[in-house]
Amino acid sequence: MPSKKALVRRPSPRLADGLVTHIEREKVDAGLAGEQWEAYVEALRTHGWETIEVEPADDCPDSVFVEDAVVMYRNVALITRPGAESRRAETAGVEEAVARLGCSVNWIWEPGTLDGGDVLKVGETVYVGRGGRTNAAGVQQLRAAFEPLGARVVAVPVSKVLHLKSAVTALPDGTVIGHIPKVDRPSLFPGFLSVPEEAGAHVVLLGGGKLLMAASAPKTAELLTDLGHDVVTVDISEFEKLEGCVTCLSVRLRELYT
Ligand SMILES: NC(=O)NCCC[C@H](N)C(=O)O
């Protein structure tokens, strides 16, 4: 039976010191962030996900963005080597969590760097963004880890946003969605739908045709609802101030056969 487990990680008390690269720094309300995180986790649970908390990493301001520390393909967990040095200590706790779940574990090694936010899976195709956080060696190592498992790894340039998945994600039918001004090469994706808001490019597939989206993209929510999708929204404003999206607050493990 395919699993419906999701890794999440409680925000660090130092969240407000998280990195910002492409946007102006804004004051983060840590109390509100905590409430938003609880509501995000609750939304996953309501839609049938068993949430598993990775041991908190209180010294790592960005540790709540748990998806950057690991990439899953089937039951193989590829532990990343984050492009930002301040985030490297985040991976140990995530490695322990996936090993405990029985995943087969693999690693990105120096000189490779790769953030999980740069990896978008659409069926057997694994798009990897070569950008500010993921380098060429990271792309090669990802390919070496997943191609033998049947993945088709496609590298795409990312220059306008933090991560590939800050620019594009995919709908349940495989259509890739993105806000054109933030996508380097929309033509690299076979089915591409342009959405009216930057935050509208981020969807988490909850299963059963449901999409989890940020409340900050109402026009896109309307567009996707009109196309027959079932949209669930959460307010993640405090994480958006740190360039976080709905996708990066969890790692969904769909193919653990335990
Ligand atoms: N996958 C993601 O979109 N992660 C967001 C990471 C935000 C964090 N402040 C960072 O710059 O690394």
Compute the average pLDDT of residues 23-31: 97
ipTM of the complex: 0.98
Cα–Cα distance, 70 to 188 (Å, whole number) = 24
Cα–Cα distance, 51 to 89 (Å, whole number) = 22
Compute the average pLDDT of residues 223-238: 98
60, 163, 179, 202: the catalytic one is 163
Compute the average pLDDT of residues 83-103: 97
Confidence at residue 3, expressed as pLDDT on a 0 to 100 scale: 82
Q: Is the CB of 81 under 6 A from ligand 1?
A: no
Q: Is the model more confident about 3 or about 222?
A: 222
Q: Is the CB of 97 under 6 A from ligand 1?
A: no
Q: Is the CB of 65 under 6 A from ligand 1?
A: yes
Q: Cβ(23)–Cβ(229) under 8 Å?
A: no
What is the band of 194 on the pLDDT scale with cuts at 50, 70, 90? very high
User: Whole-number mean pLDDT of the chain?
Assistant: 97
Q: Is the dihedral of CA 14, 20, 69, 173 positive or negative?
A: positive
The per-residue b/e assignment along 230-250, b for 16 or more CB within 10 angstroms, e otherwise, is: ebbbbebebbbbbbbbbbbbb
Compute the average pLDDT of residues 181-187: 97
Q: Which of 26, 54, 25, 51 is nearest to 39 (CA)?
A: 51
Confidence at residue 220, expressed as pLDDT on a 0 to 100 scale: 98
Assigned token pair, 75: 């039951």
With 80 as the cut, is the pLDDT of residue 2 above it? no
Distance 244 CA to ligand 1 centre (A): 5
Compute the average pLDDT of residues 43-62: 98
H-helix segments, 52-198 = 91-100, 136-146, 164-167
Confidence at residue 1, expressed as pLDDT on a 0 to 100 scale: 60
Q: Is the CB of 131 under 6 A from ligand 1?
A: no
Percent above pLDDT 70 for the chain: 99
Give tens-digit pLDDT for 104-121.
Answer: 999 999 999 999 999 999
Give tens-digit pLDDT for 159-170.
Answer: 999 999 999 999
Cα–Cα distance, 195 to 23 (Å, whole number) = 20
Which atom of ligand 1 is found nearest the CA of 18? 9
Percent above pLDDT 90 for the chain: 97
Catalytic: 163? yes
Compute the average pLDDT of residues 128-141: 98
